[in-house]
Structure 1
Amino acid sequence: MKMNVSKIKSRKGVTLIELTVVIAVILVLISVLFIGAKFYKDSANRSACVINQNAIFKAASAYININGTDPTWNDLTTGTGPLAASIPVCPSEGAGSYSLTVTAGVPAASCSDTTHVE
């Protein structure tokens, strides 16, 4: 006596819905990565801007202490000025520029790009 054993069909492959779900999950992860990368880039630009402004402030203060006169931007960046070797460049890909104002012997550096200045 033979028993009738039903064979279970095994499914091979991936359905279209499963493939779509996997692609959607991958796209969500990539979008989160890009959003995070932009945040970190903006944060790095803000930090670089603050560091550059501190360097300009220190160079202007040193110039005032050595020469006894208020410096201009050209005094700091040309010839033997304290910033002649490495002039600070705005981290926003050239969109901004630094300026120097001296009021009553107190220098203040500022950046024209307001997107990364706190």
Structure 2
Amino acid sequence: CIQPNAGQFGRRRLASGHMPRAGVVTAGIRLAGLKLERRPTFTVGQRVRVQRNIVFKHLPKLKDGFDAVGCEGTVIRTYDNAQISADRPIKVEFTEPCNWVAHFDPMELAAIGDPMAEQ
């Protein structure tokens, strides 16, 4: 059965008379046997260490940027996703190399004293 306005591959022509560039293919994806990574949780007052390379450019004394990997600080606030639209819900205060505050994703931090943080 051939549709009216069908091109050579059976695709329907657009109202402008042109053929669409490519057909849309949808496929279901099965996630069998995969473990979901559990996001760490932090509490206010907890000591944490930055475990990923993140360069901050907002430090007034370090205009060229500062890589925070290995820095230790204190969690001063955690945000619920319903409270903010930002994607970095952990607010941490640091004292080295100067006093500064930054927001982090839980996967960017490790709790000090946690065996997984020491690896």
Q: Which has the higher helix share?
A: 1
Larger Rg: 1
Instruction: Report 1 or 2 for greater relative contact order, CA contacts < 8 Å, sequence distance ≥ 6.
Output: 1
